[in-house]
Amino acid sequence: MSEQKNIVKRAYGAIKRRMTLTPDVEKQPVTDQKKFRIMLLTNRDSDNIGDQMIEACDMALIKTVMKNLNIPEDGYELVSRAASIVSKYVKAKNKDESLLKPARRKINECDLIIFGGAPVFNYKYQIFYERTAVTLELAQEYNKQVMFSAIGIEDYDEASPKCQRLKEALNLGCVKQITTRDGMEELSKYKENEKIHIEKVADPVVFAKQIFCDYTKVNHKKNKKVGLFVFREKGFVDNHIPFTGAEQAKLWKEITRILTEKGYNYELITSGYLKDEAFLDLLVRDYGFPEKKCVFNMNETEKLAQKIASYDAIISCRLHPNIVAYSMDIPAVSLIWNPKITGFYESIGYPERAIDVTTAKAEDIVEKMEDAMAQGIVKDNGYLMSVYRTLFEGIRDAIEWSDKTIQPYDYMTLTENLSHFSGTSEDEKEEKIKRKFRRTYNTLNDYQKKINKLNQKIKMLEKEKQQ
């Protein structure tokens, strides 16, 4: 019964939003009809640099699409926003419509919305699904076209109201294209609108080598150095894999011992996510890992690209260090915590490099790493090009006045024309650190609140016992 009430409330909210446009948004003049405006939505505000790399690579690919279409830089506008533009509204208990005012303005200002790589489908233990649904309802309200590019997808669940809420929104008329890097089978279950084009494509970060080339001009073949990307303490358990933080620490200890015996240098590192870095600190404090072998404070995309380029191989839990390494022709193996790990390695033709952490021993993992180093990497240009081709076709079709006879670049032409990452500004660095600190403070405050409640409960129980 409560779920029926929620459905009615959501429907009423959507109708209300369509009927009561915010006045200053509604009156906003439209200028320069020839300039096509694209808004890219990603998880750019995440601590996980993998998400920031997606943003950087998507920006480069979209700019190249416009060049490919012979549209000059002053003929379009590309802005990048966090996919959390409606999060304040989504998180609010009272659903105050005024909280949507900034999102309305941003959506009204663009012609095309592209969701890039962010986990917009996630509904199992995150709110991404709801913010995606609300954003799509606003896009429908303002008659804006929407594309999803190389999206990660969770399992489809017919019985989940959250999953069905997402499905309903994805089939709105504003959605023109959905591509996924993970599972076509799952994506096809979401699709009911036959006009929506769906396809499996590569992650945009497969072009990291070209896009970050100004930061990765190093010789990484002389020092037998391995990058070990650790995972947050409860990362495996939270994804229903019985592998605790203590077991992960033990595994890394064994791996580092074996690597040292074999004459390898190594670094323990993260891709920047706050809880991953917290676990890395725990490895030093509680498990005796040498601090000089650890890389902390990973906050910039170029720094991560530079680090990966300096390794001869990597062993990783996180997905995007693997994709960056693949792009840079650096052999990698990964410990499976999510189906997307398996999916990526199957897509590139090396399924054996995705390793079941519950059965593999440290010796097996190092052996698979050395096998990967011996085999190298062979790439399929068709697979690499899939993410660019679908972006090109989607954007070309979205621009009414574009020349529909123009075809996408071939692989060589694309790589020659890709714009290079310009680096993280000092203001951006400061903002990233500020954001990470605030999340740290929030975590600390949440734990303090829990401790205070427990202390109050203990005092009450002690008082009752005395009485």
Which tens digits make up the pLDDT trace of 249-294? 999 999 999 999 999 999 999 999 999 999 999 999 999 999 999 9
Is the domain spanning 2-204+383-423 CATH 3.40.50.11930? The answer is yes
Flag whether pLDDT at 6 surpasses 90: no
Query: Residue for token digits 């993410």?
Result: 387
What is the rounded average pLDDT of the residues 130-139? 95
Q: Tell me if domain 2-204+383-423 and domain 217-327+331-375 are identical in fold.
A: yes
440 pLDDT band, cuts 50/70/90, is confident
pLDDT of the residue at 8 = 44
Average pLDDT along the chain: 90
What are the pLDDT digits (tens) for 164-199? 999 999 999 999 999 999 888 989 999 999 999 999
219 against 254, higher pLDDT:
254
What are the pLDDT digits (tens) for 335-366? 999 999 999 999 999 999 999 999 999 999 99
13 pLDDT band, cuts 50/70/90, is low
What are the pLDDT digits (tens) for 66-107? 999 999 999 999 999 999 999 999 999 888 999 999 999 999
Flag whether pLDDT at 375 surpasses 50: yes
pLDDT of the residue at 222 = 60
Flag whether pLDDT at 7 surpasses 80: no
207 pLDDT band, cuts 50/70/90, is very high
Domain ranges of the chain: 2-204+383-423, 217-327+331-375
What is the rounded average pLDDT of the residues 28-50? 80
Flag whether pLDDT at 133 surpasses 80: yes
pLDDT of the residue at 124 = 75
What is the rounded average pLDDT of the residues 27-40? 67
pLDDT of the residue at 29 = 41
What are the pLDDT digits (tens) for 49-66? 999 999 999 999 999 999
125 pLDDT band, cuts 50/70/90, is low
Superfamily of domain 217-327+331-375: Glycogen Phosphorylase B; (3.40.50.2000)
What is the rounded average pLDDT of the residues 386-394? 98
Check: CB of residue 168 under 8 Å from CB of residue 129: no
What is the rounded average pLDDT of the residues 123-135? 86
Flag whether pLDDT at 402 surpasses 60: yes
Percentage of the chain exceeding pLDDT 70: 91
20 pLDDT band, cuts 50/70/90, is very low
Question: Which residue type sits at 465?
Answer: K
Flag whether pLDDT at 19 surpasses 50: no
pLDDT of the residue at 219 = 55
Check: CB of residue 123 under 8 Å from CB of residue 129: yes
pLDDT of the residue at 154 = 80
